[in-house]
Homo-oligomer: A and B are copies of this chain.
Amino acid sequence: METERQNQAVAAYDRLKQDIVAGHFRPGEKLLMSHLKERYSLGTGPMREALSQLVAERLVTAISQRGYRVAKMSLAELEDIYDARAHLEAMIVGLAVERGDEHWEAQVIASAHTLASVAEIRSPEEMLSLWDRRHQAFHTAIASGCGSDKLMEARASLMGQAERYRQLWLRQTVFSTEALAHKREEHAALVEVLLARDAARASQMMLEHLQTPVPIITAVVRDAHLVAD
């Protein structure tokens, strides 16, 4: 058993993406080739390869002969991403309710339980990352019932684009006992409707559930001066 050996471009892609999402490089910031090469200690070839991947994912913008920049964030983009994600996921959930089998049901119940039992026994940061991971696993478990790899890929692509905005929402929600309790209720209600196999209602609930973060993020984005407009 040995770890799959990956090339430098992939390694650079992972690290740079992490740095952008975590805010080490800020929206709109110039990504200087010489700086990136030094930071990740590699040559121009693999670096450009990693950058062009991130361009395809809309996390970086490129202009020929003028280099790369971290993609800007905007309220318009925030709204578009969350609207698209909500409608896509609502559609997927409808399919999942129609198509999901017993194994799917079991996964949904299991991940819901695992998520609900996250307690504040650890440090705030650990609690945050644990809840986040389990929350994402919960939603992924629900969506996977649609049985379509391609729809799951489209979903993953939108979630990747949402990630920088989602990070802002996460802290607000997890560190608020009130907000967290409310999410717990929403999740419980969602599971109930899923198991009742009510496709239309599940779809509608998911649509609303996924739109709730927008006002919260809007406020944070404005405060943190992350956008120009």
For the residues of A in contact with B, the DSSP-based class is helix
Scan residues 37-76 of chain A and give those whose CB is less than 8 A from a CB of chain B: 44-45, 48-49, 52-53, 56-58, 64-65
Is A103 engaged at the interface, CB distance under 8 Å to the other chain? no
Q: What 0/1 readout, one digit per residue, does chain A (150-168) give for beta carbons within 8 Å of chain B?
A: 1101100110010000000
Bin the interface of chain A by size.
35 or more
A32 to chain B, nearest CB (A): 18
Query: Residue on B with the closest CB to A43?
Result: B45
Assembled-state Cα–Cα distance A44/B149 (Å): 32
Is A84 engaged at the interface, CB distance under 8 Å to the other chain? yes
A138 to chain B, nearest CB (A): 22
User: Does A150 contact B158, Cβ atoms closer than 8 Å?
Assistant: yes
Scan residues 65-98 of chain A and give those whose CB is less than 8 A from a CB of chain B: 65, 80-81, 83-85, 87-88, 91, 95
Query: Residue on B with the closest CB to A203?
Result: B91
